[in-house]
Chains A and B, each alone.
Chain A
């Protein structure tokens, strides 16, 4: 029923982690292939000729690109277990809206924290905290963004949790101090096997960024 499932990925990518979590939630067996982004495989370039990026999900030889699109695809194809999007169209639209907000804001702002210094870094930190607070507000009294159950927006956001340590070290601040409810939510998610097995180790991410900065010539 499953067919052949392959994921072209890169271990620190929060986008790849989303797809790993969705596959794990649905208990889908798949082949994980690590890409070297400085030397992209012929398969990656063939399967994602438009953007040439990971993650790429390949199902029965056919590629699906863009992490949120992959998560929706996985949810629709394996619709007999662990639903990620709610059945109600308004709740679906709300989940999509906030997942899109995460895509528009968190990655770039977080990146500025380790790529820049001084005023630019401070401005990014301020805006990142504001965005995380907005997201925290969406939780309300629920254990997950999906409500009682882990869902689409939880999958979209939780991979950033393993990058928070890096953001905090470079930005010299504590996300837990600013957004305690959000961190409580992240820790709750980490108790799920699908999340714990999919996220990278936060210290390894930090080391990766230190090396990346050197390689890119950023002080």
Chain B
């Protein structure tokens, strides 16, 4: 398959873009990742391909655009069936979609945003809520190796990219995910051992530098 057929409009620090890259890697697909300068000026291709939200990631399959990371990952799974990222049982699929939706609703903006966007000291409630949400996810993980069961899958792909932001959250918030949620922490390490994930996840120290710079830009620091 020609690389030109699969293009990702990308940003190195975006967990949403990482989801798509991990999915493509899991499927053994070659693709071109085109970095977008989100501050300097978005490309015409981005603005034309995602006129509704004007955001990354945008995945182009033979020129046809797909937007919204969870929807893109589902598309990749349905188009290239091996290895499957979602379970085959309908009920388990519904559960996977539920937890992916929970992560998008709760973890991304509420939990993480409340910490890294806070001016001055991070309120205790923000830290408590963040840990409670991770504990909720630990409950969903149960005794399984991955959220998907014995094999790495959809929910793991949706969740793992957010964790490269955790170092920044821990520094800003003054807490430790490993101390509060050891099971979640073990799952994180397990995922990071996969090549498809390790190739894609940036150094958390670099993410922290980015977050500090972004906070300055937004007048938070």
Contact = CB atoms under 8 A, between A and B. Distances in A.
Nearest to A96: B71
Nearest to A134: B52
Given A66-B98, A66-B101, A96 B74 contact: yes
B90 interface: yes
A69 B98 contact: yes
Nearest to B76: A89
Given A89-B75, A92-B74, A92-B75, 5 more contacts: A66-B98, A66-B101, A72-B97, A76-B90, A100-B71
B43 interface: no
Interface in A21-77: 50, 59, 62, 64-66, 69-70, 72-73, 76-77
A100 B90 contact: no
Contacts of A62: 91
B210 interface: no
Interface string B64-82: 1011100110110011000
Contact of A64 (B64, B72, B74, B91): B91
A77 B93 CA distance: 11
B90 to A, nearest CB: 4
Contact of A90 (B67, B68, B75, B91): B75
A97 B78 CA distance: 15
Nearest to A65: B98
Given A64-B94, A69-B94, A73-B90, A50 B102 contact: yes
A102 to B, nearest CB: 12
Contact of A73 (B79, B94, B102): B94
A90 B93 CA distance: 19
B128 interface: no
A101 interface: yes
Contacts of B101: 66, 69
A69 B102 contact: no
B144 interface: no
Interface of A: 50, 59, 62, 64-66, 69-70, 72-73, 76-77, 89-90, 92-93, 96-97, 100-101, 134
Nearest to B100: A69
Interface residues of B, number: 21
Interface in B190-204: none
Given A62-B91, A134-B52, A93 B102 contact: no
Contact of A93 (B74, B97, B98): B74
B57 to A, nearest CB: 13
B186 interface: no
A73 B91 contact: yes
A121 B145 CA distance: 49
Contacts of B90: 73, 76-77
A97 B67 contact: yes
A92 B98 CA distance: 18
Contacts of A65: 98
B96 to A, nearest CB: 9
B61 A90 contact: yes
A77 B71 CA distance: 20
Contacts of A96: 68, 71, 74
Contacts of B52: 101, 134
B175 to A, nearest CB: 23
5 A-B pairs closest in CB distance: A89-B78, A93-B75, A73-B94, A76-B90, A64-B94
